[in-house]
């Protein structure tokens, strides 16, 4: 990929990717670091010429593996910390990924009730507009399962929105 085509692709995709990373790790600074790492990996990968939809799919796959690597590394580092100090840090909330940007309370309540996979599925399908085929490798399931999982996730979220008393006029 030459510089001009990289910059064009970046301009189109980076804001969306950054919001996906913020949504997934709920930390603004960390999301920015992971965003940079994702693009670096993409640029250093020995890729054949890809069309934009394939490249977009590859970009999100890379972002997900960068995130997983980061959380694995963090977990490994925490194992080296003395247990007492680790417990104290947990109590005080230090070192945990605290949300540093404000999601409205009602939104946070709904998202907190959903399992991680549902949150990912709903973002990829409803915000990014990925097809079932594109979502499948991203969350590690078969293409056929995506339809069922997505339907259930959507039902769960609709029920939560109903419970929270959020009608169509509140969600939009």
Partner 1 sequence: MTDKTTVSEARVTAFMGRVAAACGRSEPAPDPALIWLKAELARRMEGEKRALRAELPGLGLGAAALVLTLLVSIRWLAPIAVGLGDAAVLAGLPLALAAPLVWFFGFRPLRHAR
List residues near partner 1 by CB under 8 A: 3, 6-7, 10-11, 14-16, 18-20, 22-23, 32, 35-36, 39-40, 43-44, 101-104, 107, 110-111, 122-123, 126-127, 154-155, 157-158, 161, 166, 168, 171-172
Question: In this structure, what token pair is assigned to residue 35?
Answer: 């965003």
Closer by beta carbon to partner 1, 13 or else 136: 13
Question: In this structure, what token pair is assigned to residue 43?
Answer: 């640029």
Closer by beta carbon to partner 1, 93 or else 129: 129
Closer by beta carbon to partner 1, 72 or else 126: 126
Q: Residues 56-65, buried b or exposed e (16+ Cβ, 10 A)? A: bbbbbebbbe
Element housing 157 (H / E): helix 143-163
Closer by beta carbon to partner 1, 20 or else 136: 20
Query: Least distance in Å: CB of 23 to partner 1?
Result: 5
Query: Least distance in Å: CB of 115 to partner 1?
Result: 15
CA distance 11 to 163: 39
| Backbone region of residue 2 per phi and psi (left: phi > 0; alpha: psi in -120 to 50; beta: other values) | beta
């Amino acid at each position: 990929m030459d510089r001009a085509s990289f910059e064009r692709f970046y301009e189109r995709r980076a804001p969306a990717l950054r919001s996906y990373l913020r949504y997934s790790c709920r930390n603004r600074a960390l999301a920015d670091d992971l965003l940079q790492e994702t693009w670096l990996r993409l640029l250093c990968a020995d890729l054949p010429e890809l069309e934009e939809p394939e490249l977009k799919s590859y970009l999100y796959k890379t972002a997900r593996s960068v995130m997983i690597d980061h959380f694995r590394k963090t977990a490994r580092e925490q194992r080296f910390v003395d247990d007492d100090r680790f417990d104290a840090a947990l109590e005080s909330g230090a070192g945990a990924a605290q949300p540093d940007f404000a999601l409205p309370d009602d939104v946070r309540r709904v998202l907190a009730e959903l399992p991680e996979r549902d949150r990912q599925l709903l973002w990829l399908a409803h915000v990014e507009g990925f097809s079932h085929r594109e979502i499948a490798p991203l969350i590690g399931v078969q293409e056929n399962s995506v339809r069922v999982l997505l339907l259930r996730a959507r039902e769960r979220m609709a029920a939560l929105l109903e419970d929270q008393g959020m009608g169509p006029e509140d969600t939009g």
